[in-house]
Amino acid sequence: MSRLLRDLIKGYIPRSLVNRLLLFFPQLYKSLRYESQLSEDQIAVLREILGKNIPGNVIECGVYRGGTTVLMARYLETNRIAKKIYALDSFSGFQEDGVNDEIQKGLVPEQGRTAFTSTSVDYVQRKLERLGLRDMITIVPGYFEDTLDTIMDSFCLAFIDCDLEKSAEFCLTTLWGKVVNGGCIVVDDYTNPGYPGAKIACDRFLSKVSYTAKQVRHGFLVIEK
């Protein structure tokens, strides 16, 4: 059943129909791991950090269809860990100027122009409502450069999954002062050759700050403050 649904979501039926199907039968989400694009090992890394119950909330930069957001919320809910999750995304793909620049530099594949566009604020909000998670998750639509500075909070976990070098560096720089001591920033695609901008941004950022530890785990870069 899960494999069939994954095949459908990959494009065999229109995305709008998939959305309606999932919202009408929200019990299907679990078999799809709530549409997260992360592996089980990667999700385990995030759960391990959340399980420490360090003070501070959670922020995710790069949400797409909200799958990883939901998995983190479910973990917090199951373990009775009271935290809010801020979920930031344009919900319309990459900013045109930014992605074009990084395509020209060879940091993003050509298909990046239309990547991550099969979503919307309305869809993710309705999904969270159907799953009963709206009170735990605050959706923040818009480009990070326009939204991240407006969030006044502290974080035990900042998960950055924004692919572009410029966006990754902006998120790292802006969030570093908001992560509590002992908390972590986790950056996806650190070892992904298709999006090398994430590694470039991380390495440059880490050369300028002091941190407790760093690890590469299942394609993530985990930075402990």
pLDDT category, 55, cuts 50, 70, 90?
Answer: very high
Which segment of 113-117, 169-173, 214-218 scores lowest on mean pLDDT? Answer: 113-117
Q: Please state the rounded mean pLDDT for residues 50-64.
A: 97
- Residue 1: pLDDT band (50, 70, 90) is very low
- The predicted pLDDT at position 152 comes to 96
Q: What is the pLDDT of residue 110?
A: 60
**Residue 199 token pair:** 């590694």
User: Does the pLDDT of residue 79 top 90, yes or no?
Assistant: yes
pLDDT digits (tens, 9 = 90+) for 139-157: 999 999 999 999 999 999 9
| Average pLDDT score over residue span 115-132 | 91
pLDDT reported for residue 163: 83
- 188 closest CA partner among 56, 41, 70, 6: 41
pTM of the model: 0.91
Whether the CB-CB separation of 34 and 59 falls below 8 Å is answered with no
Q: Read out DSSP for 50-94? A: HHT--SSEEEEE--TTSHHHHHHHHHHHHTT----EEEEE-SS-S
pLDDT at 7: 55
User: What's the rounded Cα separation, in Å, for the pair 124 and 129?
Assistant: 9
Q: Which CATH superfamily is domain 36-224 in?
A: Vaccinia Virus protein VP39 (3.40.50.150)
Helix (H, G, I), strand (E, B) or coil at 194: coil
H/E stretch holding 213: strand 213-217
Percent of the chain with pLDDT over 90: 74
Average pLDDT over residues 4-28: 76
pLDDT of residue 98: 60
Question: What mean pLDDT is predicted for residues 151-165?
Answer: 94
- What are the extents of the domains in the chain? 1-35, 36-224
Q: Which residues are within 8 A (CB) of 176 and not within 5 positions of it... i.e. 6 or more apart?
A: 185, 205, 209, 225
Cα(65)–Cα(48) distance, integer angstroms: 23
Asked if 188 and 97 touch (Cβ cutoff 8 Å), the reply is: no
**Per-residue pLDDT, 118:** 83
